[in-house]
Structure 1
């Protein structure tokens, strides 16, 4: 257990809470209806199930874990329970907490929740701090110049040099604020062993290239990729 998590249990639910929010977070926080007008749906990217929250002076994001593809036809919000350490919200909370304390540009985790719906199934959600005044990269593909793409390449290389594998590196999971860049949504992400093959890094880059092409078109992907790779290949420090 990392030092900045607290486990609390009540009424069949379990939550991890960052110490900065220890006296505030309850299970109710994971219900968007609890927030009333203080919850606003996130519309850009993803599968739905995410809301911007206003908790006193804190701007937060609540995200439910939802399936995509064929699995969603069976159960959109329920996952197989194989032990608490494997719960997706808890895993993402712990990874984000590690990355945030390492100084990497990610949102700060606030709390993670899950509830067993049967002995073999659970539902889950996570709350993070909202990164203010940021815009998804998907909204800026045609606007960013070569220097911005070089900076993005350095960003991804910084994570790779720290052996951080993002499981879904795409244009919606990169946020932009002026000349700053952040990665979000680390569901199923991990820190890879030092001895692991570098194939996962190539896979990350290929996935990102496909996302740029899908969202912006082949011409945009062709225009920006050399600059991105120049930044990626020139940055070697964490």
Structure 2
């Protein structure tokens, strides 16, 4: 079953080899400069920038705090293709697809960052580059950061389990569910980074795969003292699974096999 996630409140602008989709209610005026870190840096508005698979910039703009992500490949393809993806049309580019999915999830009441705009730039006949601009979540702290600091609070693991159940009930398959993509902003929990994510029919198989990926990530980032104390890790994970299962039941989230 394919779930329709076409953005319902979005405008698209095409100029030369570039296409931009944006939410006019959030950012009435967006142009190509918004996707260039150097432009923000020249104005003294680029607060920080991180590398890695998805180059991310944090921007203090007049429109508010923004996160600019440039899509990059991971693994072996990173050396061969870098930030280039197969051109299949702007609507099917990585940025446009994540923008549409984020809008759809927000319409479902799911806690995700507000998408502001996305860009697709042709790079030759068969390739394209992609960017995504979203609102920054204030005072954010990831699950990975809490694990590393040994700062998990009572109820944190259960809260994460309940959060994941909400997304799974809605049929959201996160392609890279890990401890870095679950974060607190104040007292609220969010899920971020939906590159290659999709909305699909709820089913145990892909949901279990999501959870297994998260468990591996948590073990990887947790301090040695916590990993060595198998009781702590087991209790945390069991608390997560218990809350996850309870939230699925409460939401009548019966899943297909």
In the alignment, what sits opposite 2:67? 61
* 1:142-166 superposed Cα distances (whole Å, 9 cap, x missing partner): 2113411111100001100111111
Unaligned stretches of 5+ residues in structure 2: 1-5
**Hey, what's the Cα distance between the residues in 1 that align with 2:64 and 2:205?**
39
Q: 1:154, 1:48 → 2: CA distance?
A: 28
Task: Return the match for 1:71 from 57, 77, 84.
Answer: 77
Matched, 1:224 2:252: no
Q: Is the 8 A contact 1:65 1:77 kept in 2?
A: yes
Aligned-partner Cα distance in 2 for 1:49–1:83 = 22
Written as runs of structure 1 = structure 2, the 5 A alignment for 1:131-142 is 131-141=137-147, 142=150
Q: Is the 8 A contact 2:121 2:130 kept in 1?
A: yes
Q: 1:184 aligns to what? A: 192
> Which of 5, 10, 23 is the matching residue for 2:28?
23
Other structure's SS at 1:140 match: helix
Rounded Cα–Cα distance in structure 2 between residues aligned with 1:54 and 1:5: 23
Q: Aligned in 2, Cα 1:235/1:179: closer, same or farther, shift over 3 Å?
A: same
Q: Cα deviation per residue 1:61-82 (whole Å; 9 max; x = unaligned)?
A: 0000011110011021111112
Give unmatched runs, 5+ long, in structure 1.
Answer: none
Runs of 4+ in structure 1 over 6 Å off: none
In structure 2, C-alpha distance between the alignment counterparts of 1:40 and 1:221, rounded to whole Å: 36
Cα deviations by residue, 1:11-50 (Å, 9 ceiling, x for unpaired): 310000102244321111000001012113344x953510
Verify the 8 A CA contact 2:58 2:66 in the aligned structure 1. yes
Output the aligned Cα RMSD: 1.8
Tell me, in whole angstroms, the C-alpha distance in 1 between the residues paired with 2:234 and 2:186.
23
